[in-house]
């Protein structure tokens, strides 16, 4: 019988050894993917035993702090957001009941010191061996709190978003989404958030959504900047090109009229290119679009970053790409006949943009044609203050030639000096901008917008403002908000 | 060094380890538990020294490693249970004391010649069946966590299946010793008993709704049948029959189907059917290579409600895996392997067929039970409702496994005794 016993014992040992293999799989190979699962309640609770890193604004204002609480002998570190609703959609929240959002989610590894930078690994291991509580790394953001506050106040009860970038680096100076929410309410009084947002001027206020990166808006005439960039950069037109505006443009055998006031559609007659942008003449841009064709215009949009998620440190599912959308999905036309070139040229068609994307467009023009990757995390520091990692400005790509950028700049200056964007004038500072008013077919439900940068000769700030459900036009509604943000940022230059 | 002195030295080492375990739980959770807890380690050591004393008298030539291994496994289980809930640990401590008493009594009672058991083989066979049927009876039978494995008598609640396992092994050892030549010829009419036990295993499966118990009994039977007859074809046929039966069970028994579905893909219903599987996996994953350390794992929400169901019984391995890490639980699995190796060694050294079959059956049962429990947690096999021997919280399991240990020591003593 001994031979059989040997074989049975081999079977038993193989079975037990398979358990070592199985355990090894879960504890090494699969451990990090288990950790990243949103429904992992153990991980979620376990992370509260770590002294989560703090989040600061660029001037040291504390945006996310810790609140230690002893529960049955164990100390947990919960979140407290001293700045309230200031930058909620960017910072996000870290809670037990609703997991995490925003940078709290995407930068979780740093905040819990589970990132793989050598000095963090060393410190974490030392803490574990000593039996002391592991402390996470801190985030220092690029956000300027005073200007952020100005932006939020200016947006008021409007639904919409405002983004301000530093053109030369891509730093996000302001990222305000309205209505905003108080992240301190997420854990215990979540329903209060929806209640407080009820006063906002739109059907679905969705305060948790970061409209700056995930809100899609019809750009309207702000898109003309991209059409103009394509027209000039390809050499098809120059600033000296002239046009005849009959007040409409013929597309597919039908009239597409200019913007209409009480006296009917405006008619400008013989105009040059800068005047067409200054007064935002649809008929002229319609003709330009027909001449260029839709695919070159979309190609220039792509050069500015359209058709891919705008690069930012927030979670990728909180950012959406800009571009043509067909039935809720990003649409990449292969055939020029699939797109109406005239309407595309003045930002209608099925073009949808995020405020961040349009801020990248103006920032690119301001930066001599080079679009920088936007970033909101300036640096990550260890608990002792030493820098773990710092973000270095990085160019996304050159979108247009420097000459094109300077031509566009002077054209956009005229928009603010004497065109549709005069409400954005700042005394003593040259502002370059472009207004947008997208009609949705129902009166009082326009999407209005303004994109701008200043000072025009030495740009320090580029801004994009998008508003939902407006009665007025972009020059009256969005431009004053953009102006206040630019003023605040230019005044408080560090 | 003589066998018993070696055992004593090992036990002292186990005692030191137990003290360290309790001390680290105390350090990690001192605001919740008292310093007096460390003295439990001393009581624990004293208990095993008592068991050692009985072994010295009753089975002086027996294997010196099994008792210390048992001591270590029960210590690991007790420490973890203590960390999870001090009041459960007190009850578990009581059951360990009771288990050691039963162990001592069995050794003293059977020290002259345990082979007398062979003459009562049919009595054991009938008791095994009777014990297995108990949970199915109305009034006393109780369903816990969807499996009908329990009997409730007033405040007492136990799993008769654990004792049935031992009775079944004694019966099979006697029965197969007698019939092995006949069975080995492989005539068709001799397949009767095979089909009978297969039928019984299927009945257990239907009755308990638990794939694990059925697999355990049937696996013990197949292993012992193979040892007795040397016919691999029987094993193949048996496995085929079991798979066929399990397939039918999968189609007809909802709980079996849920368990198998969650084994294959637990992510399809994380918050519902597969909650237990997924939580167990998360707990294991959270341990990583080195573990969180004893007393530092996460088992409850910050509000104090449990994150892992049945954490100190069926899921104790996932708790250990979280706190001790891969390093720790690999060591625990190694203890099971060494235990199994010593057991099979005893079986090979034994001289008569009954002793060989008994030792092989007990050892295989021990290893297979550990396998089925842990395999369900690391998703090598579907999750089942059986315990991890000597580690899980639960009286019936502890007592039955102490009887198993007594059986192995008795066989070993006889095999090693000088003549």
Of A1, A42, A96, the CB nearest to B282: A42
Min distance B181 CA to chain A CA atoms (Å): 12
Min distance B282 CA to chain A CA atoms (Å): 6
- Of B233, B189, B371, nearest to B225 by C-alpha is B233
Count CB-CB contacts under 10 A for residue A361: 30
- Of B37, B137, B142, B131, nearest to B89 by C-alpha is B37
The answer to whether the CB atoms of A42 and B356 lie below 8 A apart is no
Residue B409 near residue B66, CB atoms below 8 Å: yes
Q: Which residues of B touch A49 (CB under 8 A)?
A: 296, 298
Considering chain B, what is the average pLDDT of its residues?
A: 88
> What is the chain A residue with the closest CA to B299?
A42
Which three-class secondary structure state does DSSP give residue B189?
helix
Q: Whole-angstrom Cα distance, residue B172 to residue B187?
A: 19
The answer to whether the CB atoms of B340 and A27 lie below 8 A apart is no
Q: State phi, psi for B7 to the nearest 5 degrees.
A: -60, -45
Question: What is chain B's percent helix, strand, coil content, to nearest 5?
Answer: 75, 5, 20
Q: Which residues of A touch B287 (CB under 8 A)?
A: 27
> The dihedral of CA B87, B91, B97, B99: what is its sign?
negative
Model confidence pLDDT, tens digit, residues B218-232:
899 999 999 998 989
pLDDT by residue, tens only, chain A of 494 residues: 899 999 999 999 999 999 999 999 999 999 888 888 878 888 888 888 889 999 999 999 999 999 998 877 778 899 999 999 999 999 999 988 888 899 999 999 999 988 878 888 888 888 877 777 889 999 999 999 999 999 999 999 999 999 999 999 999 999 999 999 999 999 888 999 988 888 888 888 899 999 999 999 999 999 999 999 999 999 999 999 999 888 888 777 777 777 766 666 778 888 999 999 999 888 899 999 999 999 999 999 999 999 999 899 999 999 999 999 998 899 999 888 888 888 898 888 889 999 999 999 999 999 999 999 999 999 999 999 999 999 999 999 999 999 999 999 999 999 999 889 899 999 899 999 999 998 877 767 889 999 999 999 999 999 999 999 998 888 889 999 999 999 999 987 55
The label of the residue with tokens 């605001």 reads B31
The answer to whether the CB atoms of B337 and A73 lie below 8 A apart is no
Q: Which residues of A touch B347 (CB under 8 A)?
A: 5
Residue A164 near residue A358, CB atoms below 8 Å: no
Min distance A388 CA to chain B CA atoms (Å): 25
Q: Which residues of A touch B307 (CB under 8 A)?
A: 41-42, 45
Query: Which long-range contacts does B19-24 make (Cβ < 8 Å, 24+ apart)?
Result: B19/B45, B21/B75, B21/B76, B21/B79, B21/B294, B22/B79, B22/B82, B24/B293, B24/B294, B24/B295
Min distance A33 CA to chain B CA atoms (Å): 9
Residue A164: exposure state from Cβ atoms within 10 A (0-12, 13-18, ≥19)? buried
- Examine residue A179 and say whether the peptide bond preceding it is cis (omega within 30 degrees of 0): yes
Count CB-CB contacts under 10 A for residue A242: 12
- Of B376, B345, B378, nearest to B359 by C-alpha is B345
Q: Which residues of A touch B336 (CB under 8 A)?
A: 16
Q: Which residues of A touch B227 (CB under 8 A)?
A: 1, 4-5, 8
Min distance B140 CA to chain A CA atoms (Å): 35
> The dihedral of CA B90, B94, B95, B96: what is its sign?
positive
**Which helix (H) or strand (E) element contains residue B338?**
helix B316-349
The answer to whether the CB atoms of A42 and B279 lie below 8 A apart is yes
- Written as one string, the DSSP assignment of B36-48 is GGGHHHHHHHHHH
Picking from B180, B302, B305 by the largest number of A CB atoms within 10 A of its own CB, the best residue to mutate is: B302
* pLDDT exceeds 60 at position B28: yes
Q: Is A221 part of the annotated catalytic residue set?
A: yes
**What's residue B194's pLDDT?**
63
> What is the chain B residue with the closest CA to A16?
B371
The answer to whether the CB atoms of B367 and A16 lie below 8 A apart is yes
- Examine residue A306 and say whether the peptide bond preceding it is cis (omega within 30 degrees of 0): no
The answer to whether the CB atoms of B29 and A3 lie below 8 A apart is no
Domains by residue range for chain A, with CATH: 41-141 (3.90.1310.10), 145-377+392-491 (3.40.710.10)
Structure tokens at B402: 């102490």
**Which helix (H) or strand (E) element contains residue B158?**
strand B156-158
> What is the chain B residue with the closest CA to A97?
B301
DSSP class of residue B267 equals G
Q: Which residues of B touch A46 (CB under 8 A)?
A: 286, 292, 298
* pLDDT exceeds 80 at position B130: yes
Q: Whole-angstrom Cα distance, residue A167 to residue A458?
A: 10
**What's residue B32's pLDDT?**
66
> What is the chain A residue with the closest CA to B230?
A4
pTM of the model: 0.76
**What's residue B155's pLDDT?**
65
The answer to whether the CB atoms of B341 and A20 lie below 8 A apart is no
Per-residue three-class SS string for chain A: CHHHHHHHHHHHHHHHHHHHHHHHHHHHHCHHHHHCCCCCHHHHHHHHHCECCCEECCCCCEEEEEEEEEECCEEEEEEECCCCCCCHHHHCEECCCCCEEHHHHHCHHHHCCCCCCHHHHHHHHHHHHHCCCCECCEEEECCCHHHHHHHHHHHCCCCEEEEEECCCCCEEEEEEEECCCCHHHCCCCHHHHHHHHHHCCCCCCCCCCCHHHHCCECCHHHHHHHHHHHHHHCCCCCCCCEEEECCEEEECCEEEECCEECCEECCCEEEEHHHHHHCCCHHHHHHHHHHHCHHHHHHHHHHCCCCCCCCCCCCHHHCCCCEEEECCEECCCCCHHHCCHHHHHCCCCCEEECHHHHHHHHHHHHCCCEEECCECEEEEECCCCCEEEECCCCEEEECCCHHHHHHHHHHHHHHHHHCCCHHHCECCECCEEEEEEECCCCCCCEEEEEEEEECCCCCCEEEEEEEEEECCCHHHHHHHHHHHHHHHHHHCCC
CA atoms within 13 A on the CB side of B57: 12
* pLDDT exceeds 80 at position B7: yes
The answer to whether the CB atoms of A45 and B337 lie below 8 A apart is no
The answer to whether the CB atoms of A5 and B336 lie below 8 A apart is no
Min distance A47 CA to chain B CA atoms (Å): 9
- Give how far Cα B97 sits from Cα of A56, A221, B51, B93, B401, Å: 58, 84, 10, 6, 13
**Most distant CA pair in chain B: distance in Å?**
68
- Rg (C-alpha) for chain A, rounded Å, is 27
Residue B164 near residue B386, CB atoms below 8 Å: no
Per mean pLDDT, which range of A429-438, B134-143, B173-182, B361-370 is the poorest? B134-143
Min distance B217 CA to chain A CA atoms (Å): 15
> What is the chain A residue with the closest CA to B356?
A1
The answer to whether the CB atoms of B286 and A12 lie below 8 A apart is no
The answer to whether the CB atoms of A45 and B307 lie below 8 A apart is yes
DSSP class of residue B143 equals E
Q: Whole-angstrom Cα distance, residue A486 to residue A241?
A: 32
Model confidence pLDDT, tens digit, residues B78-94:
999 988 888 888 889 99
**Which helix (H) or strand (E) element contains residue B153?**
strand B147-153
Min distance A69 CA to chain B CA atoms (Å): 10
Paired sense of beta strands A138-141 and A55-56, if any? parallel
Per the document, the length of chain B is: 419
**Which helix (H) or strand (E) element contains residue B323?**
helix B316-349
Structure tokens at B253: 């028994």
The answer to whether the CB atoms of B321 and A3 lie below 8 A apart is no
Picking from A15, A20, A22, A48 by the largest number of B CB atoms within 10 A of its own CB, the best residue to mutate is: A15
Instruction: Kindly indicate the confidence band of residue B193, based on its pLDDT and cuts at 50, 70 and 90.
Output: low
Picking from B236, B284, B293 by the largest number of A CB atoms within 10 A of its own CB, the best residue to mutate is: B284
The label of the residue with tokens 């699939």 reads A338
DSSP class of residue B245 equals H
Model confidence pLDDT, tens digit, residues B230-243:
989 889 988 998 89
Of B29, B285, B363, the CB nearest to A35: B285
Conformational region of residue A257, where left means phi above 0, alpha means psi within -120 to 50, and beta covers everything else:
beta
The answer to whether the CB atoms of B368 and A131 lie below 8 A apart is no
More confident call, B343 vs B252: B343
Of B230, B326, B341, the CB nearest to A27: B326
Q: Whole-angstrom Cα distance, residue B132 to residue A76?
A: 47
Residues 6 or more apart in contact with residue A258 via CB below 8 angstroms = A245, A247, A248, A265, A266, A267, A268, A281, A282, A283
- Give how far Cα A241 sits from Cα of A10, A237, A244, A284, Å: 88, 6, 11, 11
Picking from B285, B318, B382 by the largest number of A CB atoms within 10 A of its own CB, the best residue to mutate is: B285
Q: Which residues of B touch A96 (CB under 8 A)?
A: 301-302
Q: Which residues of A touch B303 (CB under 8 A)?
A: 71
In percent, the amount of chain B with pLDDT more than 90 equals 47
The answer to whether the CB atoms of A13 and B326 lie below 8 A apart is no
Conformational region of residue A60, where left means phi above 0, alpha means psi within -120 to 50, and beta covers everything else:
left
In percent, the amount of chain B with pLDDT more than 70 equals 96
- Give how far Cα A471 sits from Cα of A438, A444, A478, Å: 11, 4, 12
CA atoms within 13 A on the CB side of B77: 31
- Of B69, B44, B15, B1, nearest to B409 by C-alpha is B69
Q: Whole-angstrom Cα distance, residue A130 to residue A132?
A: 5
- Of A94, A99, A178, A221, catalytic: A221
Q: Whole-angstrom Cα distance, residue B394 to residue B276?
A: 19
Q: Whole-angstrom Cα distance, residue A91 to residue A87?
A: 6
The answer to whether the CB atoms of B302 and A76 lie below 8 A apart is yes
The answer to whether the CB atoms of B302 and A71 lie below 8 A apart is yes
Which three-class secondary structure state does DSSP give residue B111?
coil
Q: Which residues of A touch B301 (CB under 8 A)?
A: 41, 45, 96
């Amino acid at each position: 019988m001994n031979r059989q016993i040997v074989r049975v014992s081999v079977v038993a040992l193989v079975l037990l050894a398979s358990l070592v293999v199985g355990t090894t799989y879960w504890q090494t190979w699969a451990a990090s993917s288990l950790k990243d699962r949103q429904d992992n309640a153990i991980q979620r609770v376990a992370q509260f035993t770590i002294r989560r890193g703090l989040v600061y604004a660029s001037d040291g204002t504390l945006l996310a702090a810790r609140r230690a609480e002893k529960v049955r002998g164990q100390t947990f570190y919960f979140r407290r957001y001293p700045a309230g609703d200031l930058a909620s959609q960017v910072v996000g929240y870290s809670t037990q009941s609703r997991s995490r959002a925003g940078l709290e989610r995407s930068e979780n590894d740093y905040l819990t010191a589970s990132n793989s930078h050598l000095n963090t690994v060393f410190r974490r291991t030392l803490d574990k061996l000593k039996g002391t509580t592991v402390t996470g790394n801190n985030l220092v953001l690029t956000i300027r709190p005073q200007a952020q506050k100005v932006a939020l106040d200016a947006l008021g009860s409007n639904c919409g978003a405002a983004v301000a970038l530093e053109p030369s680096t891509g730093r996000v100076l302001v990222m305000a989404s309205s209505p905003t929410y108080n992240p301190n309410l997420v854990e215990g009084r979540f329903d209060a958030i929806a209640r407080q947002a009820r006063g906002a001027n739109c059907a679905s206020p969705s305060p948790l959504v970061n409209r700056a990166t995930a809100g899609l808006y019809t750009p309207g005439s702000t898109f003309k900047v991209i059409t103009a960039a394509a027209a000039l950069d390809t050499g098809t037109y120059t600033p000296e090109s002239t046009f005849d505006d009959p007040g409409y443009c013929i597309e597919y055998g039908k009239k597409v009229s200019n913007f209409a006031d009480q006296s009917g559609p405006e008619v400008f007659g013989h105009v040059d290119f800068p005047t067409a942008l200054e007064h935002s003449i649809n008929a002229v841009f319609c003709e330009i679009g027909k001449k260029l064709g839709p695919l070159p215009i979309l190609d220039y949009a792509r050069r500015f970053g359209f058709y891919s998620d705008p690069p930012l440190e927030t979670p990728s599912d909180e950012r959406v790409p800009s571009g043509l959308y067909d039935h809720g999905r990003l649409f990449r036309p292969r055939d020029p006949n699939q797109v109406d070139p005239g309407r595309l040229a003045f930002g209608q068609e099925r073009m949808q943009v995020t405020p961040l994307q349009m801020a990248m467009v103006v920032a690119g023009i301001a930066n001599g044609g080079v679009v920088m990757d936007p970033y909101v995390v300036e640096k990550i520091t260890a608990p002792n203050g030493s820098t773990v990692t710092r973000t270095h400005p990085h160019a996304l790509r050159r979108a247009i030639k420097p000459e094109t950028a300077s031509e566009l700049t002077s054209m956009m200056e005229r928009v603010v000096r004497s065109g549709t964007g005069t409400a954005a004038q700042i005394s003593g500072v040259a502002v370059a901008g472009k207004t947008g008013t997208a009609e949705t077919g129902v009166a009082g439900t326009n999407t209005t917008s303004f994109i701008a940068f200043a000072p025009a000769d030495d740009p320090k700030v580029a801004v994009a403002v998008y508003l939902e459900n407006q009665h007025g036009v972009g020059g009256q509604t969005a431009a004053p908000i953009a102006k206040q943000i630019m003023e605040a940022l230019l005044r408080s230059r560090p | 060094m003589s066998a018993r002195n070696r055992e004593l030295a090992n036990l002292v080492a186990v005692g030191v380890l137990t003290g360290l375990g309790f001390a680290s739980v105390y350090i990690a959770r001192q605001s919740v538990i008292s310093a007096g807890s460390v003295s439990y380690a001393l009581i624990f050591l004293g208990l095993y020294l008592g068991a050692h004393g009985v072994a010295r008298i009753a089975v002086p030539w027996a294997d010196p490693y099994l008792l210390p291994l048992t001591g270590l496994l029960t210590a690991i289980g007790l420490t973890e249970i203590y960390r999870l809930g001090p009041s459960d640990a007190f009850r578990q401590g009581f059951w360990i004391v009771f288990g050691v008493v039963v162990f001592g009594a069995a050794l003293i009672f059977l020290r002259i010649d345990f082979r007398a058991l062979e003459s009562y083989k049919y009595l054991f066979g009938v008791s095994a069946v009777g014990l297995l049927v108990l949970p199915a009876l109305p009034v006393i039978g109780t369903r816990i966590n969807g499996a009908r494995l329990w009997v409730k008598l007033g405040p007492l609640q136990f799993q008769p299946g654990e004792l049935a396992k031992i009775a079944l092994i004694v019966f099979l050892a006697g029965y197969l010793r007698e019939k092995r030549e006949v069975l080995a010829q492989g005539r068709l009419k001799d397949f009767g008993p095979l089909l009978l036990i297969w039928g019984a295993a299927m009945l257990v499966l239907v009755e308990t709704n638990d794939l694990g118990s059925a697999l355990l009994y049937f696996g013990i039977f197949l292993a012992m049948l193979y040892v007795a007859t040397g016919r691999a074809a029987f094993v193949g046929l048996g496995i085929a029959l079991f798979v066929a039966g399990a397939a039918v069970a999968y189609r007809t028994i909802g709980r079996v189907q849920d368990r198998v579905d969650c084994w294959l893909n637990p992510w399809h219903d994380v918050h519902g059917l597969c909650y237990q599987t997924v939580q167990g996996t998360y707990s294991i994953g959270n341990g990583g290579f080195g573990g969180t350390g004893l007393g530092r794992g996460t088992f409850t929400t910050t509000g104090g409600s449990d994150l892992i169901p049945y954490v100190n019984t069926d899921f104790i391995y996932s708790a250990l895996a979280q706190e001790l890490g891969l390093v720790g639980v690999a060591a625990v699995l190694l203890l099971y392997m060494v235990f199994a190796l010593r057991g099979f060694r005893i079986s090979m050294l034994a001289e008569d067929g009954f002793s060989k079959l008994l030792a092989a059956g007990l050892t295989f049962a021990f290893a297979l039970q550990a396998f089925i429990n842990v395999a369900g947690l690391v998703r090598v096999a579907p999750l089942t409702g059986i315990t991890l021997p000597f580690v899980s919280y639960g009286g019936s399991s502890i007592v039955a496994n102490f009887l198993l240990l007594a059986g192995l020591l008795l066989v070993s003593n006889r095999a090693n005794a000088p003549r």
